[in-house]
Structure formats: C-alpha cells, structure tokens
Amino acid sequence: MDQLEQLREELLAEVANASDSVSLDAVRVSALGKKGRVTAMMKGLGGMDPEARKATGQALNVLKGEISNALEARKTLLEENEISVRLAEETIDVSLPVRPEQEGLLHPISQTIEEVAEIFAPMGFEVAEGPDIEDDFHNFTALNFPPDHPAREMHDTFFLPLKEDGTRHLLRTHTSPVQVRVMQNTKPPIRILAPGRTYRCDYDITHTPMFHQVEGLVIDKAVHMGHLKSCIIEFVKAYFEVENLPIRFRPSYFPFTEPSAEVDIGCSRENGELKIGAGADWLEILGCGMVHPNVLRSSGIDPDEYQGFAFGLGVERIAMLKYGIPDLRTFFDSDLRWLRHYGFAALDVPTLAGGLSR
C-alpha cells in the first residue's frame, strides 16, 4: 500500500507540474497509457492471491479515478491560461499611429467608383447592387434581346453548366440586369447607380475577362432625353476635371434603349501621348439611351405611365483615361509596385468640395 501511496503522490505532483497541454498529455500516457505505471500495476493483479487482489484492485481503481480527475482539471486550467495568454499577446492598440511603410492604398477601381458615386449622389442617385451570377432572363430576355439574337453572342458570355431543367446561369455580361432587378422591386420614381463586376470571355491589351461597370437608371413620369444629356454632361465634366471638355452624343444601338447613344469626349494624340480635352480626336466613354418600353414592361412597370433613361460606363476605361494607366491588364496583376504608383491614400476620400482626385 505504501508503494501505491507513493505512486499517487508522484503522479499528482507530475500533473500539478505540467506547464502546458503537451507535457500534461505526456504525464497521462506515462500513468494511464498502455505501458503506463498504473496500467502496469493493474496487470500485476493477476499474480496476487484473491484477498490481496481484491483490496489492491479497488485501491488502484480509486487511484486511477483520482489521476483522471486531476488530469482533467489541470487540462481545463491550462487551456484557460493559454487563451488568456494569447488574448494578452495579440492585443492591438488601435490608437497607435499608422506605420507609413505599411499603409494600405485604395485600388484605382475603388477610387474611380467612389468618385463616380460622389458626383451622382447630389443628383439624388442611390447605390444599388445585383448578383454577379445572373440568369438568362435578367441579363438578356428582360433587356429585350430576342431569343437566339446574335447580340447574345456579341457579349462573349461565360455560361455555367446546364441544370436539370435545361436552363443555365451565366456571369453577367454587363450591369444592366440590375436595372431589371431594381424596377421589379421598386415603385418609381427610381434613381439608382449600380457599380459592379462584369464578365466577358475576352483577353488582350484592352479586354480582361472580368471588368467593372457603373450602371445608371432614372425612371419617372416625365423624364426625357434632355435630362439624360444634362446628367451625363455634368458627370463627364466633374469626373475628368478638364475645362471646356468637348462632349458629343453619337447615335448608336442597344436592344434595351431607344433611342440609344454613345458618348465621346474630345482628346488629342500627339507623339503617341493621349491628352483629354479639346483636340482632333474623340474617345468613346459610355453607352446610354431612353429605356425601351419592352424593358419597362418585362420589369413590371407600365410604359404608358413611366419612362426613363439608363447609362453604362466602363470603370477601368475612365480610370485609365483620367490617371494615364496604359495597360488594362495591369489592374488585375496584384503587383504591389503598381499599386504604390497608381493607388490612393485610403483616408483621402473623394469629395466634390475637397477635390475628387488629389
């Protein structure tokens, strides 16, 4: 019995001295494991006479229970301590000043979207969003693309695998499906701006398979083309921050607007250098038009009561033009040197009063 008492004291001391969960587990194995000290004594019971076996067996069971409880209690305590130590070590003092060499920068795409939203906000436009994964109805059918019309192919659509019911989802090829979603869910008057990612299967110096657009939509009882024009002219002047910037509306075609126009701004190209402003050349920057009655109807709005206009612009394109970024593909290379060159200070938010793009 003395031997048992001694073992008990030794094991409890080992448990109490274990300073982390790894060494505690080693104690458990050395006591209760297959080759552990308590286990070995259990095995020795077979060679004892019945009286002694009974008494020692009971005592060993009590010891085993005691050690298990001590191990369990120590384990809980150690785990709690480990959590407190981690919490104390990982504390961040959020009031410390930013370390300039680690300061994050805003990607030109985020900056450009902020600038566009900042210009349209005072005109009453609210930001709306829609899903990147769309269905055929919202991306094409409701936007007045006839079934099997080549315009659907024109967009180089990424399709998702066919589903059992024969339909398939797709990655939206433009932000125009957000028009449909907003009209389905809102009673006019509507005035929204929808920035987001769009996808087309294309890749070269001016195309990437993913790019960004900002969609605008205005629906009310007496909205006309004059409103569309003044809205766009105001935007273009504010965005490019160039005095007397020439702007022209050139007739165009989109299935979802009638009449449709593309908007060009003046520029000059001298010695391979592109300059925005009065010059001999024009650059296309956005598409727009009066929302087609079929689109209103598909979206649950009565074209005899309401009408409106929509526009869509390419974010990368206007960012490249304003900030002189020559290659579209570099936007998505995640090259830190590029970001340090073209990025914007995160806290220097664009405002009309303070300047959009200092």
Pick from 120, 140, 311, 342 the residue near ligand PHE by CB under 6 A.
311
Pick from 174, 212, 292, 322 the residue near ligand PHE by CB under 6 A.
174
**Least distance (Å) from ligand PHE to the CB of residue 286?**
7
Q: Does residue 144 bind ligand PHE (CB under 6 A)?
A: no
**Least distance (Å) from ligand PHE to the CB of residue 206?**
14
Pick from 303, 74, 91, 310: which is nearest to 190 by CA?
310
Q: Does residue 310 bind ligand PHE (CB under 6 A)?
A: yes
Q: Does residue 350 bind ligand PHE (CB under 6 A)?
A: no
Q: Does residue 288 bind ligand PHE (CB under 6 A)?
A: yes
Among 24-32, 282-290, 331-339, 350-358, the segment contacting ligand PHE (CB under 6 A): 282-290
Tell me the residue type at 97.
Answer: P
The residues near 119 (Cβ < 8 Å, ≥ 6 apart) are 234, 235, 238, 239, 352, 356
Tell me the residue type at 279.
Answer: G
Q: Does residue 140 bind ligand PHE (CB under 6 A)?
A: no
Among 6-14, 59-67, 305-313, 340-348, the segment contacting ligand PHE (CB under 6 A): 305-313
Handedness of CA 131, 133, 135, 139 (dihedral sign): positive
Pick from 257, 298, 299, 307 the residue near ligand PHE by CB under 6 A.
257
**Burial class, 166, CB count within 10 angstroms (exposed 0-12 / middle 13-18 / buried 19+):** exposed
CA pair distance 215, 191, nearest whole angstrom: 11
CA pair distance 220, 188, nearest whole angstrom: 6
Cβ atoms within 10 Å of 156's Cβ, excluding its own:
13
216 to 255: interface string for ligand PHE, x by CB under 6 A: --------------------------------------x-
Interacting residues with ligand PHE (CB under 6 A): 174, 176, 215, 254, 257, 287-289, 310-312
